[in-house]
């Protein structure tokens, strides 16, 4: 951690400290200030702030979350901005963004790695002490040589020292090259937890998890937490998982979801010639066909490719009338 700066919240008397190597978003959340955000990765645009005074460096100048016109108007993405002097910023605050557990930057050790599907591995990192998070949240992994951190969701049930990530091997990907070269015992700086799309343990409603591709981890953590919660012994979990081919599919047994309270719905979008007897098409279509009962009596947790999340979101909010406060997701682009 280097030199620090003071960030003033324009129009108020509030300030918060920000280390020179921290982002405006990270520093605000560490100070308990709820800047609206989703991906913390420069993609969604939710964390736009007006830079009223001061100067920042951008970790990723070409971030898709900020249009050139907004940049010219003095707007910046809080998740990509590191101050180079004291600043004043104006931004949208959300009560839900005030973190239950403020994110911290800590070093974790890779304990183990195991394959989940043909191109997704589970990475098990351990901290030196307990590292709380809420099911469904993600963390930023600072990988050597990359200009900005990469976001990955925890898949395990919170509690203890371990954060387990399910990470897709992306051919030619910079993060893939570094992560899949790690060996047990290697150290990585991890910043987290982030996300407001976390499991609501106090809800009496059944849980519906809808995931596609590498969106598996956060909803798996939610499902596992729902099943582990003794106060919800009578609640059900509906788990929809969309994969492209049979080789990409997972089983409830492999995920620790073989439980009579879980209804598992695997869906293949490209089943051709593989003898697949199950659901085919897009995962939102399967959800539309298969989820029984009154939809507003459920909480929905979504994760996956942006078109999938958007299709499910529209189905829930526009077609099925599910209240927006029962639908949880982060948009990653
Ligand atoms: Fe900053 Fe998504 S662009 S939170």
Q: To test ligand 1's pocket by mutation, which of 27, 47, 196, 197 has the most ligand atoms within 8 angstroms of CB?
A: 47
63 alpha carbon – ligand 1 mean position (Å): 9
pLDDT digits (tens, 9 = 90+) for 222-238: 999 999 987 777 789 99
Confidence of residue 332 (pLDDT cuts 50, 70, 90): confident
219 alpha carbon – ligand 1 mean position (Å): 20
List the end-to-end C-alpha distance of the chain, in Å, as a whole number. 29
CA distances from 88 to 4, 37, 106 (A): 14, 18, 28
Question: Residues with beta carbon inside 6 Å of ligand 1?
Answer: 37-40, 42-47, 65, 77, 79
Where is average pLDDT lowest: 60-74, 116-130, 155-169, 257-271? 60-74
pLDDT at 192: 97
pLDDT digits (tens, 9 = 90+) for 19-70: 999 999 999 999 999 999 999 999 999 999 999 999 999 988 788 899 999 9
Q: Which atom of ligand 1 is nearest to the CA of 77?
A: 1
pLDDT at 117: 87
> Is 12 a residue whose pLDDT tops 90?
yes
The complex scores an ipTM of: 0.99
258 alpha carbon – ligand 1 mean position (Å): 35
Confidence of residue 160 (pLDDT cuts 50, 70, 90): very high
pLDDT at 43: 92
> Is 82 a residue whose pLDDT tops 60?
yes
pLDDT digits (tens, 9 = 90+) for 252-261: 999 999 999 9
> Is 163 a residue whose pLDDT tops 90?
yes
Structural domains of the chain, ranges and CATH numbers in brackets: 4-97 (3.10.20.30), 104-194 (2.40.30.10), 206-331 (3.40.50.80)
* Spatial distance between the Cα atoms of 26 and 30, rounded to a whole number of angstroms: 6
252 alpha carbon – ligand 1 mean position (Å): 32
* Chain mean pLDDT for the chain: 93
Name the closest-CA residue to atom 3, ligand 1.
42
In this prediction, residues 103-131 reach a mean pLDDT of 95
Q: Which atom of ligand 1 is nearest to the CA of 42?
A: 3
Between 62 and 136, the more confident residue is 136
> Is 2 a residue whose pLDDT tops 70?
no
pLDDT at 231: 75
pLDDT at 272: 78
In this prediction, residues 95-124 reach a mean pLDDT of 95
Give the angle 283-306-139 at the CA atoms, nearest 5°.
Answer: 110
35 alpha carbon – ligand 1 mean position (Å): 10
Q: Which atom of ligand 1 is nearest to the CA of 44?
A: 2
In this prediction, residues 302-331 reach a mean pLDDT of 95
pLDDT digits (tens, 9 = 90+) for 234-252: 789 999 999 999 989 999 9
pLDDT digits (tens, 9 = 90+) for 254-287: 999 999 999 999 999 998 777 888 999 999 999 9
Confidence of residue 333 (pLDDT cuts 50, 70, 90): low
29 alpha carbon – ligand 1 mean position (Å): 13
Confidence of residue 214 (pLDDT cuts 50, 70, 90): confident
């Amino acid at each position: 951690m280097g030199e620090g700066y003071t960030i003033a919240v324009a129009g108020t008397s509030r300030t918060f400290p920000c280390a020179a190597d921290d982002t405006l978003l990270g520093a605000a959340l560490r100070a308990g200030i709820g800047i609206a955000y989703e991906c913390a990765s420069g993609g969604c645009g939710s964390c736009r702030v007006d830079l009223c005074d001061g100067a920042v460096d951008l970790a990723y100048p070409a971030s898709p979350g900020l249009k050139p016109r907004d940049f010219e108007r003095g707007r910046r993405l809080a998740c990509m901005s590191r101050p180079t002097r004291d600043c004043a910023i104006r931004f949208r605050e959300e009560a839900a963004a005030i973190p239950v557990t403020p994110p911290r930057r800590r070093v974790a050790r890779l304990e183990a790695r195991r394959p989940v599907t043909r191109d997704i591995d589970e990475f098990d990192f351990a901290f030196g002490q307990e590292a709380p998070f809420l099911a469904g949240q993600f963390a930023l992994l600072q990988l050597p040589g990359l200009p900005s951190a990469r976001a990955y969701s925890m898949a395990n049930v919170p509690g203890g020292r371990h954060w387990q990530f399910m990470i897709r091997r992306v051919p030619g990907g910079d993060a893939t090259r570094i992560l899949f070269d790690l060996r047990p015992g290697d150290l990585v700086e991890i910043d987290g937890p982030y996300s407001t799309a976390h499991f609501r343990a106090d809800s009496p409603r059944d849980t519906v998890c809808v995931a596609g591709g590498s969106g598996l981890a956060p909803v798996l953590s939610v499902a596992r937490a729902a099943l582990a919660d003794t106060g919800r012994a009578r609640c059900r979990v509906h788990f929809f998982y969309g994969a492209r081919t049979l080789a990409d599919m997972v089983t409830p047994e492999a995920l620790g979801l073989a439980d009579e309270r879980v209804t598992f719905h695997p869906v293949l979008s490209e089943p051709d010639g593989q003898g697949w007897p199950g659901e085919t098409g897009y995962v939102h279509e399967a959800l539309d066909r298969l989820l029984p009962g009154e939809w507003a009596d459920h909480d929905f947790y979504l994760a996956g490719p942006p078109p999938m999340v958007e299709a499910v979101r529209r189905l829930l909010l526009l077609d099925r009338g599910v209240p927006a406060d029962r639908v949880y997701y982060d948009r990653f682009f």
